[in-house]
Structure 1
Amino acid sequence: MKTRYSITVALFLAATVFSCKKQLVENPKGNLTPVNYLKTQADLDAAVASIYAKYAVDGAYAFTNKSTSYFGADDLTTDPGLNKGDMRAFDQLNGSSTNTSMLAQWNGPWTAIYQANNVITNYAQVNSTDDLKRKAAGQAYFLRAWGYYNLVRTFGGVPLVDKLISVNDRPPRASVNDIYNLIVSDLKIAKSWLPVNYGDTKQIGRANQMAARAMLADVYLTMAGWPLKQTANYALAASEADTVIRNGSYNLVSSYASVFTTNNNSESIFGLQFNVGGGSPNRTYGASSVPLDEVAADGSSGWDDYYPEINFFLNAPKCDRTDATFYTTLKLRQGSGSNITFKLVPWNSSETHAGHPYYKKFRAALGDGVVETATTLQSINPSTNKTTDIIRYPLVLLDYAEAQAMSSGGPSAAAYSAINQVRTRAGLPNLQPGLSATDFQKAVVNERAYEFAGEFGIRWFDIVRLQLLPEVIAARASNENPINFTGDITQRYLAPIPQNDMYINSSWTQNPGY
């Protein structure tokens, strides 16, 4: 049985190894902490490593449940039956506060935020140089900001806990604006304290200055949309993204498919690291995105957790990226023993139970997910060493393109260049020149939908900040899981606060509609 955490419960002792190459080995002293254990730089580094580790577990961002409430987007749907009820409820826009899978989206960030607060509160007392201490604390500020960024976009106003608190404390829910102010403040500190790069392969996986700037650009872009609608932030988003672009540290991988079969490649700005051998597997790829109909020669099978909606797939541009993204020919095992063969059928064949295409890009991982040829399946593994990329360079390019156009009343040549870099890699022609700011924004948002299809929350957060649910619902095919909500659709942009936390914190008010 997995332990559940509320924001008022003390931190648990993590036992995972963070890095897929064991660069960031966690020291248990980093968790036990405050004053007594943070004495040396090694103690401080261990405490920082444990923040990363708290994000990289099933109870946070290591499993499909990290996206439970984002299934309202058109790039994610799930089986009409099986054991997918938690994700299916949000796919039908009818999730509830008692949804158990959603707890990963709530508890995961809080455990990381608490550990970040420990580092931020105590780093100054460590016996080390100011430079090394600031590099460590800068990562804590970055990781706290990321946790709050995910919380506020998912749940709206949440408690603002920026220091160590007692397990008996019951902080109120802060306003969305106050949470964003903390996020911006944290990222400004992170970008000023972190190096542009560490110049050491042993530091792979650690957030750097460019990661902080890239995230800050995305934060400003989000603040320009719903619910804050602070449109002056478009210019700030463009400036931060432009700084990352001009820095020149990152470039697009030539082949879109190879982005998902390599770790920490040239376009990965920040990603969560995993290590199957160290007890920290990534279970978002491999079996999770494989159809139940597929059974490999060794008897392993798909989990059928998620796949795209039909019309999202059908509306995808015809290009190499689309071919690399979607899995459209299923392999159905025939025979047994030494006589096993595989029948190839299209995604919409009556021989498939779901009648949907799946995601190809999440199958192979590092060769440790689905092991297959064009006509056979050898094995289907649920645990992989694949990094979950949180910020890829194309996100910076597209954030810049949209933010520049919206801040200046129309796209510049640089904005066209940014989006066209992404389109060229995808195998698409350059975007038509002469678009208005609004039409250009729509083109960028559509580009982002397919560049990041199925990736952690990106499509859903675009739908939320631009309030696109009505048009997403209108485009939904009739044979998808039926929408099971008839109230005010604007009440579905936020997920409900988990019920157990509502019980513990009696002064809180639940999000409208739940």
Structure 2
Amino acid sequence: MKNIRNIYIALLTLFILGCDADALDITPDGRTNLDDVFQNEQQTEAFLNRVYGNIPKYFYKYQFWAYLAGCSDEAEDSDVGNEPSNISFNWNTGSLTPSYDPLEQNGHDVAVKRYQTFWGGIRDANVFLANVEMANIPNTRNRGRFTAEAKLLRAFYYLEMIKKYGPMPIVTEAFNTTTDYTALVRPSFQECVDFIVNECREAIAIPELPIRITEEQERGRFTKAVGHAIISHALIYNASPLWNDSNDNGKWQAAATGSKEAIAALTAGNEYELFPDYEEYFYSQSDMNPSPRDRETIFEIKDGSPGTFTIINALPSQPGQFKTGSAPSQELVDSYEMVATGEPAILGYSDEDHLNPIINLASGYDPNNPYEGRDPRFYATVWYNGAQWDNIQGNIHTVETYIGGSDQLIKTPPNRKNTHTGYYLRKFYNPKIQAGQGSPARFKKFRLAELYLNLAEAENEANGPTTEAYNAINIVRTRAGIPNLPLGLSQDEFRDRVRNERRVELVWEEHRFFDVRRWKILDQTDKLVTGMEIIRNAPGDFTYQRFVVSRRNAWDDKYRIFPIPLGETSIIPDFDLNQNPGW
């Protein structure tokens, strides 16, 4: 490039931050030069920790303690109308541009600039892998394990980046000031996925990498199980309509095979299995020992400020509440089936505003008692009018979302303490913990249930609703306490059911936001969200009225993939020539 200063303007220069003549002498502790780092095993491991340091916090760590769920049809954020910089409001009004990404605003406790962070992680992994073979590591087992972990981290950062931005240049060497950035080109999505899968397979093949962490001091390290999860995740995205316009069956077969292999590897010897209680699972921390109770979690992310979680996700009737966080939408509530029949309660809507649901008469759903007899995961996920729970003092608390109740719906902002939809988030929240008290809840980035659902989806798309597809989805439903899917479903019917299963099983885990994009149904799901207004006529007698909470603008085709940031397109010609569609 003509002007090295331009390099530092580009966001991609996260690759070279720390790589110029002076910065090459800066190490994680800021005291020794890079050559010295790899002459010492402890400092080599410290540099590997630096590679790990680029993993985002996810969860509620977006701007002003927001969730990504509020940018999907899962929820409406309580700070819409309160905070001008609220990510949900700015995302849903269609504010995304190449020069402004609402989701890239710094969050509380953590930076949320994902584009920079992912490239930074790739750059650090490249530096580490370029030096680890020659590093002074007396413990030979550590050399292999460190190498495997760095490869998995590089694959992970690439996966997270291409989900948002589409294919990105595959770079395996650390950049420096002599690098010709103008030569960078975007490969195909398939090529990126091939790279990710190969990285993971190479890492899994390294014998020193364990299948699971069994010691507390190693919590947070990548394992063979993480590699299998990344492969399953990457292949399901590669096969999906967004990146598979021709519906190439081979891609679906590859995705099914990848998930089968992952499940077989993880469940061998009962190393991994579904946690017995869905509700408890999400407000528990996985235990790291040879015989853990939690064998479902593949990788979770620590909450750096656990006391915050319980004050920004609380009910108005709870002492110490600061705000209510993101409130579940009526669309989410409608997606929960009936426990007695295993049938969908709501089949869709007869109007564009979702105010007139099509009730499945065979399901047993009663619109006058809409919260009775639903999928047990509904009660583990949503606080609704009439829900009851024992608080820390052992007293029974009844949630009152009806107008005038202690947790009432308030439609009109500004108001962050009350729900905007008529519901509150229950998932992750242990009612025995008071607002402001530390919660052990952690974000489950990868878990076994997702792999089963990946297999069910891919197997159905590749071969129809086979016994293997049924078994994969039914193991998840059985844990939840919901009946197996009925036999004889068509491929289309099974597709609808597995998509809904993902919606309720993986809710609030940052899957729905991306799932509707990879399925290319964003224009069907994200035009609006609705809520439920409840009037109390007499004790136990309520009137239910649906209403539109908000109309949204981030649903047309261009919002399926984020734009490459403007600073990048002005520096790298191929990024400018091949900016993502619509941007």
Q: TM-score range by the shorter chain?
A: 0.7 to 0.9
Matched, 1:125 2:134: yes
Instruction: Give the Cα separation in 2 of the matches to 1:50 and 1:235.
Output: 37
**Cα distance per residue 1:45-92 (max 9 Å; x no partner):** 2222222222255xx777135987775431243243111533222234
**Cα distance per residue 1:199-225 (max 9 Å; x no partner):** 544333222112211220121111101
Instruction: Give the Cα separation in 2 of the matches to 1:140 and 1:240.
Output: 21
State the match for 1:432 in structure 2.
Answer: 486
State the match for 2:232 in structure 1.
Answer: 217
Normalising by structure 2, what TM-score? Answer: 0.71
Which is higher, the Rg of structure 1 or of structure 2?
Answer: 2
State the match for 1:306 in structure 2.
Answer: 326
Q: 1:440 to 1:283 in 2, by over 3 A?
A: farther
Gaps of 5+ in 2: 1-8, 20-26, 106-111, 287-293, 338-373, 388-395, 411-417, 531-546
Q: Is the 8 A contact 1:92 1:481 kept in 2?
A: no
Instruction: Give the Cα separation in 2 of the matches to 1:305 and 1:450.
Output: 19
Counterpart pick for 1:481 among 539, 544, 550: 550
Q: Is the 8 A contact 2:186 2:574 kept in 1?
A: no
State the match for 2:52 in structure 1.
Answer: 52
Matched, 1:202 2:217: yes
State the match for 1:114 in structure 2.
Answer: 123
Q: 1:191 to 1:249 in 2, by over 3 A?
A: same
State the match for 1:261 in structure 2.
Answer: 283
Deviation at 1:131, TM superposition (A): 3.5
State the match for 1:335 in structure 2.
Answer: none
Please tell me the residue identity of whatever aligns with 1:150.
E
Question: Secondary structure in 2 aligned to 1:346?
Answer: coil
Q: Is the 8 A contact 1:411 1:436 kept in 2?
A: no
Pairwise CA RMSD of aligned residues? 3.4
Q: Which is worse superposed, 492-501 or 197-206?
A: 197-206
Matched, 1:498 2:565: yes
Deviation at 1:425, TM superposition (A): 1.7
Counterpart pick for 1:358 among 411, 416, 424: 424
Normalising by structure 1, what TM-score? Answer: 0.79
Q: 1:44 to 1:236 in 2, by over 3 A?
A: farther
Please tell me the residue identity of whatever aligns with 1:46.
A
Instruction: Give the Cα separation in 1 of the matches to 2:425 and 2:61.
Output: 16
Q: Is the 8 A contact 1:311 1:476 kept in 2?
A: yes
Counterpart pick for 1:464 among 507, 517, 525: 517
Instruction: Give the Cα separation in 2 of the matches to 1:347 and 1:134.
Output: 59
Deviation at 1:192, TM superposition (A): 1.3
Instruction: Give the Cα separation in 1 of the matches to 2:520 and 2:441.
Output: 32
Q: Is the 8 A contact 1:155 1:496 kept in 2?
A: yes
Counterpart pick for 1:445 among 495, 499, 502: 499
Q: Is the 8 A contact 1:29 1:37 kept in 2?
A: no
State the match for 1:87 in structure 2.
Answer: 88
Counterpart pick for 1:421 among 475, 499, 517: 475
State the match for 2:39 in structure 1.
Answer: 39
Please tell me the residue identity of whatever aligns with 1:316.
Y
Q: 1:273 to 1:33 in 2, by over 3 A?
A: farther
Question: Secondary structure in 1 aligned to 2:240?
Answer: coil
Question: Secondary structure in 2 aligned to 1:495?
Answer: coil
Matched, 1:178 2:191: yes
Gaps of 5+ in 1: 14-26, 275-279, 332-340, 365-369, 373-377
**Cα distance per residue 1:434-465 (max 9 Å; x no partner):** 2223322221121011101111x211222122
Q: Is the 8 A contact 2:91 2:102 kept in 1?
A: no
**Cα distance per residue 1:291-320 (max 9 Å; x no partner):** 6xx2743x4412x44233222223322121
Q: Is the 8 A contact 1:253 1:267 kept in 2?
A: yes
State the match for 2:300 in structure 1.
Answer: 271
Deviation at 1:390, TM superposition (A): 0.8
Q: Is the 8 A contact 1:241 1:396 kept in 2?
A: yes
**1:286-435 aligned within 5 A:** 286-290=310-314, 294=316, 296-297=318-319, 299-302=320-323, 304-317=324-337, 318-329=374-385, 344-346=399-401, 349-351=408-410, 352=418, 354-364=420-430, 372=433, 378-380=434-436, 386-412=441-467, 414-435=468-489
State the match for 1:145 in structure 2.
Answer: 155
Q: 1:213 to 1:405 in 2, by over 3 A?
A: same
Q: Is the 8 A contact 2:158 2:196 kept in 1?
A: yes
State the match for 2:534 in structure 1.
Answer: none
**Cα distance per residue 1:165-200 (max 9 Å; x no partner):** 126753635233332232122112122123323554
Q: Is the 8 A contact 1:155 1:497 kept in 2?
A: yes
**Cα distance per residue 1:482-510 (max 9 Å; x no partner):** 12358xx2111012233444455466324
Please tell me the residue identity of whatever aligns with 1:301.
F
State the match for 1:74 in structure 2.
Answer: 73
Q: Which is worse superposed, 184-193 or 70-79?
A: 70-79
Deviation at 1:161, TM superposition (A): 2.8
Instruction: Give the Cα separation in 2 of the matches to 1:89 and 1:505.
Output: 28
Question: Secondary structure in 2 aligned to 1:64?
Answer: coil
Deviation at 1:29, TM superposition (A): 4.4
Instruction: Give the Cα separation in 2 of the matches to 1:506 and 1:409.
Output: 43
State the match for 1:23 in structure 2.
Answer: none
